[in-house]
């Protein structure tokens, strides 16, 4: 009997194997379909509305990021489905500022997802890309002081030197009033060189040559393109950029970016014969090295490198993007431009502005501050929603419970269009809203630099730099758009990278 049973079992196994071989593709399709249906209908998030594709796979997010305008997709989703949208099988996007407060709250236990794991350099994650919460907190503790506003004030001289250099380049365009000036590019070059001065006491040479040195800006954009897209499916990173076979393949060897190479060079320059480092100076690298000297066990040389390197990678594109948006929005609105220049002219005539505008003087120009906040509201520098894991035990967000295993995010472009906070005309660039409504309340719901425990550590440098440079340009030049009303070309697989801000410059003394 046992023999017959074994024969039947073997026969069934053989038939099953034969069926599988003959219908291999059909079985693959059936298993994928079954998995997708399970994710859509058996998930604890099944009641949350969203695109059908997003409920059963991450392909919707990959495609949306690849399109280069994922922020517009998220705005459209929330307009269609409401304040809570399912954007992937285990991911939820929130469009309300109440939800943002819960997600950004300090001590709630939201942890980084594997999205961050694809960012280079792999061996030296910085404050943004470090996924280990204890390590992130440790690094941030030693970097807070070097990034403080007080320390930025100490670096005024090299930053002001870069501002004067920018003024010289703009003056060259103003000499011939018919010469087109790509102001967007110059602002991008300026932002990079400021980071060089702040981080390493070294100008990279972008502004001087008015070129993208060694294709560095394009290279960072390419890296962001990869990070943003593959970050949606980080498991695939092991097959692509971080493939363990890559170093052994001559046609696919990884090459360090220009900015990575410079960071390595600067660190090596300061290495002493006895193995210690020269930590004299006021730049970011020197301050980080001093922090390392006092806490070498908790704050390593590798940490010093990663934070200094990350400053250049993260700080240049975001600041440049905001300055480009500011000028695009102001110059396309004649009444805003007139009111802004009038405020600056009055302050100038009253002797309230130094030769190079100070940060404190800029803060007293209320209409300028409203213009800058409104630019950051309507066009935040980050287009991507960056997801976080909820605590394992689950969490309540905006009054509703979400179980462990859920990943949640907010998108600044969506949040900044919350009509309950900013008014009904959220799509309109109108600085006057900052005088008509509760400015403090609105300001607490601006997420240009993130929020709460996820606040960007480089925000002080960005604000310090923009407050000084933007007013200086408006004070010295009359500016008109070459193509009024023409939208800026841009894409955003992470930062909003813009092109097309072309203007005519005219020195005000020529008037």
* Residue 396 near residue 108 (C-beta atoms within 8 A): no
Rounded alpha-carbon distances, angstroms, from residue 474 to 339, 343, 414, 425, 480? 12, 11, 30, 27, 11
H helices present in 42-81, as ranges: 52-56, 59-66, 70-81
State whether the Cα torsion 41-43-45-50 is positive or negative.
Answer: negative
* Residue 473 near residue 162 (C-beta atoms within 8 A): no
Locus of tokens 């000028």:
327
* Residue 50 near residue 62 (C-beta atoms within 8 A): no
Locus of tokens 């960005």:
462
Residue ranges of E strands in 19-160: 84-88, 91-94, 111-112
Does 456 appear as a known binding residue?
yes
Give CA–CA dist 486/39, Å, rounded: 43
Q: What are the beta bridge partners of residue 181? A: 503
Give CA–CA dist 146/307, Å, rounded: 11
N- to C-terminal Cα separation, the chain: 108
Half-sphere exposure of 285 (CA within 13 A, CB side): 25
* Residue 268 near residue 183 (C-beta atoms within 8 A): no
Identify whether 151 is preceded by a cis peptide bond (ω within 30 of 0).
Answer: no
| Positions at the binding site | 456
Output the known binding site for heme. Answer: 456
């Amino acid at each position: 009997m046992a023999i017959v049973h074994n024969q039947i079992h073997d026969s069934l196994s053989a038939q099953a194997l034969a069926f599988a071989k003959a219908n291999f593709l059909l079985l693959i399709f059936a298993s994928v379909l079954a998995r997708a249906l399970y994710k859509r209908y058996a998930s604890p998030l099944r009641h949350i509305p969203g695109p059908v594709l997003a409920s059963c796979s991450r392909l919707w997010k990959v495609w949306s990021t690849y399109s280069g305008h994922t922020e517009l997709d998220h705005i459209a989703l929330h307009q269609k489905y409401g304040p809570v949208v399912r954007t992937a099988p285990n991911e939820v996007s929130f469009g309300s500022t109440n939800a943002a407060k819960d997600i950004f709250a300090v001590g709630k236990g939201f942890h980084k997802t594997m999205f961050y794991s694809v960012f280079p350099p792999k061996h030296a994650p910085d404050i943004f890309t470090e996924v280990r919460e204890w390590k992130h907190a440790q690094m941030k503790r030693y970097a807070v002081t070097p990034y403080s506003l007080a320390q930025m004030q100490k670096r005024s001289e090299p930053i002001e030197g870069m501002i004067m250099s920018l003024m010289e380049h703009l003056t060259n365009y103003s000499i011939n009033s018919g010469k087109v000036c790509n102001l967007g590019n110059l602002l991008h070059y300026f932002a990079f060189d400021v980071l060089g001065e702040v981080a390493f006491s070294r100008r990279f040479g972008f502004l001087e040559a008015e070129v993208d040195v060694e294709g560095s800006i394009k290279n960072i954009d390419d890296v962001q393109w990869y990070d943003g897209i593959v970050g949606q499916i980080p498991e695939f990173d092991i097959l692509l950029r971080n493939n363990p076979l890559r170093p052994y393949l001559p046609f696919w060897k990884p090459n360090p970016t220009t900015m990575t190479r410079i960071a390595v060079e600067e660190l090596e320059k300061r290495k002493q014969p006895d193995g210690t480092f020269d930590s004299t100076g006021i730049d970011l690298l020197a301050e980080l090295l001093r922090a390392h000297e006092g806490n070498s066990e908790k704050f390593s040389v590798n940490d010093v490198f990663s934070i200094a390197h990350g400053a250049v990678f993260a700080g240049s594109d975001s600041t440049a993007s905001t300055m480009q948006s500011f000028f695009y929005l102001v110059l396309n609105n004649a009444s805003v431009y007139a009111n802004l220049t009038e405020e600056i002219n009055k302050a100038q005539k009253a002797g309230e502005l130094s030769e190079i505008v100070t940060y404190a003087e800029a803060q007293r120009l209320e209409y300028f501050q409203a213009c800058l906040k409104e630019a950051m509201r309507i066009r935040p520098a980050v287009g991507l929603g960056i997801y976080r894991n909820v605590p394992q035990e689950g969490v309540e967000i905006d009054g509703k419970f979400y179980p462990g295993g859920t990943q949640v995010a907010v998108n600044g472009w969506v949040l900044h269009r919350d009509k309950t906070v900013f008014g009904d005309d959220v799509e309109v660039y109108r600085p006057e809203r900052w005088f008509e409504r509760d400015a403090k309340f609105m300001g607490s719901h601006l997420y240009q630099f993130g929020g709460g425990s996820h606040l960007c550590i480089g925000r002080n440098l960005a604000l310090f730099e923009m407050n000084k440079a933007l007013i200086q340009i408006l004070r010295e030049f009359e500016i008109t758009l070459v193509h009024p009303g023409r939208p800026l070309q841009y894409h955003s697989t992470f930062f909003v990278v813009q092109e097309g801000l072309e203007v005519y410059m005219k020195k005000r003394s020529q008037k």
